Copies of this chain bind each other. A is one copy, B any other.
């Protein structure tokens, strides 16, 4: 393909963390919303833990501030109902999404969206432990030839380093929560801002 045929694709970076509640509806619907708008999604897994620690939080703010937490669970239930998504409040929150984030970091473009969706459903619709290798293996089933091997490879030093780098990059962008869409350096925080992010990407 020569330079003349190369066209900059309209794209939205989607920064997400597997433990994040509102990332669930966002992650399972952004692909379709973006495709309908002729926009690509660049999947950017990162970790919120280090960012929350910088703000002095050793736990999710939804646990640290109970009134806000109670509200969030009810609101998330309503948001999922409206988007026709199954929802079961996880018996453990937040779940450790580190291993899943490493798999997503090492994932290739042709299966990342399906994998991400399955992990979120496991956590927020099936109440399964997404840090469990067996659960992650089942999420990889049919997407890669050897799920166990893909999972093992996600533990490589280079992958860990890339994920750490992604979290550093998130901090550099000013990201403070998830999900966050980034369009030309501008942030759009939350499931409620996906449409605005895609609109911004298209209008540039």
A binding-site residues for B, Cβ under 8 Å: 55, 65, 67-68, 70-71, 74-75, 78, 174-177, 186-189, 192-193, 196
Write the nearest CB–CB distance from A51 to chain B, whole angstroms. 8
Closest partner residue, chain B, to A176 (CB atom): B67
Inter-chain CA distance A187–B71, complex, in Å, is 7
Inter-chain CA distance A188–B187, complex, in Å, is 24
Asked if B189 and A192 make an inter-chain contact with CB atoms under 8 angstroms apart, the answer reads no
Extra contacts, 7 of them, besides A71-B176, A75-B188 (Cβ < 8 A), are A65-B176, A67-B176, A68-B177, A71-B187, A74-B186, A78-B196, A192-B192
Asked if B70 and A174 make an inter-chain contact with CB atoms under 8 angstroms apart, the answer reads yes
**Which residues of chain B are within 8 angstroms of A78 by Cβ–Cβ distance?**
196
Asked if A74 and B187 make an inter-chain contact with CB atoms under 8 angstroms apart, the answer reads yes
| A-B CB contact pairs (8 Å), 17 listed | A55-B65, A65-B176, A67-B174, A67-B175, A67-B176, A68-B176, A68-B177, A70-B174, A71-B176, A71-B187, A71-B189, A74-B186, A74-B187, A75-B188, A75-B189, A75-B193, A192-B192
Inter-chain CA distance A186–B55, complex, in Å, is 30
Asked if A71 and B196 make an inter-chain contact with CB atoms under 8 angstroms apart, the answer reads no
